[in-house]
A and B are shown apart, each in its own frame.
Chain A
Amino acid sequence: MSMKKLSPYVGWLLLAVALLVLAPAVLSDFRLGLLAKYCCYAIAAVGIGLAWGRGGMLVLGQGLYFGIGAYAMAMHLKLADAGPGGVPDFMALYGDATVPGWWEPLRSGAFAVVVILVLPALVAGLLGLAVFKRRIKGAYFAILSQALAAAFAILLVGQVKTTGGANGLNNFQGFFGYALFDPANKRMLYFIAAGILLVSILAMAWLYRSRFGELLVAVRDGEERVRFLGTDPANVKLAAYVIAAVLASIGGALFVPIAGIVSPDDVGVVASIGLLAGVALGGRASLLGPAVGALLVGYAETSLSEAFPGSWSYFQGALFVLVILLLPGGLAQLLNARRGNSVSSRFLRGVPRGKQAQAELPRSASEAAPEEAAAR
């Protein structure tokens, strides 16, 4: 095995040692809890790396899937806290103190886990089918995915009696029978989150090397060519989008017991784009980049907000501008450049103008618009 083939696994091993050995040894319980939270974001970021970095789909609405997982978990925890037949505290506060029918199945922990894994796949599958099969892509797809997250957040705020509204769901006591105020259980949650993060990165390493991974990159860099070669790009994109959605949902589900709260702010447009910051910083198309970037951005957000309140917006804004403008391959690009392999993808370098503007148009643009360009 050549060095080049080994190197991702070396990086993965380093990350695993840092997360599983080093961090628990040196960090206080409070800091470890924060790191656990970043790990949840990082799990979603790994999915974004697949969809955006490898698949070229700018997923601006991953907050939706993060939120599906988070709310499913939060609803289950609320019901479990209330005990068999009990009513969650906030419902007594806002509503008529009855549990709505669509909450009831979530009393079962097993069902909640099924919802967390299957519901995002269904939603992403349906939306993906509707969008990719009609060859809606590029900015159009980005805008639709963003609007979906926005609509979801607005819906959550509006249904205060069953979703907790703008306050969201919080004040959880237990997690599948483990008391959440116990520091030992919080450490356990950290190890679960870090473990799932590491496993999901390994899964990506395997996916990226598979035939599917190669096809996905091919679709990103030349969708039409893939179509001419006899493969439907829509199916490839759909699969990547669904996997990204499920990863985001898992991240969201773990986020709830770790952060102790989920609110519409965690799922809306701002949160969704926030998830992209780490992916862009670390390197969207690289294996470890999205996860490492998400951890770095999470850490930076906490420490900058502690040191200079209000400064985080400037930093996040500058990060988006500088990284995307000057370092489209993220930090991974720097590492690669040192090793001598430069970024070669059209996706990161860009396509000259003229060829680009019209490539953005969906397919039937050529058949439709029978009138001459009269409106202009």
Chain B
Amino acid sequence: MDALLAQVFTGVSAGAVLLLIALGLTLTFGQMGVINMAHGEFIMAGAYTAYVVSLVVASTELSLLIALPAGFVIGGLLGLALEASVLRWMYARPLDTLLVTYGVGLVLQQVARDVFGAPAKEVPAPGWLDGSIPILGYDFPLTRLFIIVLAGLCVAALLAVLRFTALGRQIRATVGNRDLAETIGISTRRTDRATFFIGSGLAGVAGVALTLLGSTGPNLGTSYIVQAFLVVVVGGIGHLKGTIVAALGIGLLQAFFAHALTGSVAQVIVFLAIVAFLQVRPQGILSVRTRSLA
């Protein structure tokens, strides 16, 4: 029972990390068809933001709380810059954005290596996240619990923005039908930029959260990005619900197989499970309804 509970917890916390990363990807992929490989480097930028904030702010108790919004803004600004400089010219060729953004990611990685050095940096965790709390006889590390809560808050905030604000309505309209949205007077260009800011900002938040789990290096993003894309594929585009289910599902599967076998075999099995799942539902768990032929 304890072992099972431990695995469920590990799985959910791994799923929460994936969810934080995949939220931004789903947004930009669903709305613009853009596959942003530099998303991983926005995560890295968020993590380095946390590192810089921890250097500037003396109190480790506060630095995390300052780093979270700072990471959001840094990630968002990077996303805006990427959209304005490169991606806006590429909307006619969505598949090609993958390689272009990969190139941008390579450059960002090297910049991080040149600025911060290749060795990984440690960001001290605040004291109030030290230790663990026992639930049902199992000790839950507070850092992982914090990430689960953070992922939940981000999802809630994003849902609220999408449902209740004018921007959210514009985003939903643009995802639903870009031409019609344009016709009723929505500036889809502006909406695209806003979506990119939010999506990339969430990557920054994820990066800050990741500093709680391990050290920060230039390659931080690359280790997560492939799995995050799998979450997007399995979840289906255009729906947050699918992404949430997919992230938690993949996290849980990974945790169970990693416990029963080894971590590396678990990755392969999860991949095969995903291919098998796509046989049943090629469009992912949930997908926007369209009349498209292709």
B-side contacts of A26, CB under 8 Å: none
Are A366's CB and B110's CB within 8 A? no
Q: Chain B 108-134, CB within 8 Å of chain A: the 1/0 string?
A: 011001100000000000000000000
CA distance A134 to B96 in the complex (A): 23
Residue contact A366 to B275, C-beta cutoff 8 Å: no
Find the A residue at minimum CB distance from B280.
A134
Given contacts A151-B267, A159-B264, A320 and B106 within 8 Å (CB-CB): yes
Checking A155, A224, A276, A356 against B92 with a beta-carbon cut-off of 8 angstroms, the contacting residue is A356
A146 contacts B289, C-beta separation under 8 Å: no
Which residues of chain B are near A139, meaning CB under 8 Å? 29, 33, 35, 94-95, 98
- Knowing A147-B226, A373-B176, A373-B289, the reply to whether A324 touches B103 (Cβ < 8 A) is yes
Q: How far is the CB of A356 from chain B (nearest CB, A)?
A: 6
Cβ contacts under 8 Å, B176 to chain A: 373
CB contacts under 8 Å to B, within A69-96, are none
B291 touching A369, Cβ below 8 Å: no
One of A5-13, A240-248, A332-340, A357-365 at the interface: A357-365
Check B98 against A58 for contact (C-beta < 8 Å): yes
- Identify which of A131, A269, A325, A372 contacts B100 (C-beta below 8 A): A325
User: For A360, what are the chain B residues with a Cβ–Cβ distance below 8 Å?
Assistant: 33, 94, 237, 294
Tell me the chain A residues, 109-141 only, with Cβ under 8 Å from chain B.
Answer: 127, 130-131, 134-136, 138-140
With CB as the reference atom, state the residue of chain B lying closest to A137: B294
**Could you say which residues of chain B place their CB within 8 Å of the CB of A236?**
none
A365–B238 Cα gap in the complex (Å)? Answer: 11
A175 to B29, CA, bound (A): 48
Give which listed residue, A60, A349, A356, A376, contacts B240 with CB less than 8 A.
Answer: A376
The secondary structure that dominates the A interface is: helix
Separation in Å of the A373 CB from the closest CB of chain B? 6
Cα–Cα distance between A319 and B102 once the two chains are bound (Å): 11
Residues of B within 8 Å of A310, CB to CB, are 110, 113-114
Give the interface segment out of B10-18, B51-59, B83-91, B195-203: B83-91
- B242-A375 in contact (CB<8A): yes
Q: Which residues of B, 262-294, contact A by the 8 Å Cβ criterion?
A: 262-265, 267-268, 271, 274-276, 278-279, 281-283, 286-294
Query: Whole-angstrom distance from the CB of B278 to the nearest CB of chain A?
Result: 6
Residue A177 is within 8 A (CB to CB) of chain B in the complex: no
On whether the beta carbons of B29 and A320 are closer than 8 Å, the reply is no
- The one of B96, B229, B281 in contact with A147, judged by C-beta atoms closer than 8 angstroms, is B229
- Assembly CA distance A324 to B99 (angstroms): 7
Query: Contact: B233 with A140, CB < 8 Å?
Result: yes
The answer for the CA separation of A144 and B279 in the assembled complex, in Å, is 13
Question: Is A325 within 8 A of B89, CB to CB?
Answer: yes
On whether A147 and B230 interact (CB within 8 A), knowing A273-B99, A320-B103, A373-B176, the answer reads: yes
- A142 at interface, CB cutoff 8 A: yes
Q: Does A101 contact B (CB under 8 A)?
A: no
Q: Is A352 an interface residue (CB 8 A)?
A: yes
Task: Identify the closest chain A residue to B242 (Cβ).
Answer: A375
List residues of B (218-258) whose CB comes within 8 Å of A's CBs: 222, 226-227, 229-230, 232-233, 236-242
Cβ of A271 within 8 Å of any chain B Cβ, yes or no, is: no
Beta-carbon contact of A376 and B175 below 8 Å: yes
Q: How far is the CA of A365 from the CA of B90 in the complex (A)?
A: 25
Whether the Cβ atoms of B264 and A313 lie closer than 8 Å is no
A365 and B287 contact, Cβ closer than 8 Å, known pairs A131-B275, A147-B229, A328-B93:
yes
Beyond A154-B264, A358-B290, A376-B238, is A270–B222 a contact (Cβ under 8 Å)?
yes
Which chain B residues lie closer than 8 Å to A280 at the CB level? 99
Verify A143–B289 contact, CB threshold 8 A. no
Please list 27 pairs of residues, one from A and one from B, whose beta carbons are closer than 8 Å in the complex, sorted by A's number.
A60-B98, A131-B278, A135-B294, A136-B278, A140-B282, A143-B232, A146-B229, A147-B229, A150-B267, A154-B268, A273-B102, A316-B106, A317-B105, A320-B99, A321-B107, A349-B92, A350-B92, A353-B92, A357-B32, A358-B294, A359-B294, A361-B287, A368-B289, A369-B283, A373-B288, A375-B241, A375-B242
Given A139-B98, A325-B86, 7 more A-B residue pairs with CB atoms under 8 Å apart are A58-B98, A131-B278, A136-B278, A320-B100, A325-B100, A361-B290, A376-B238
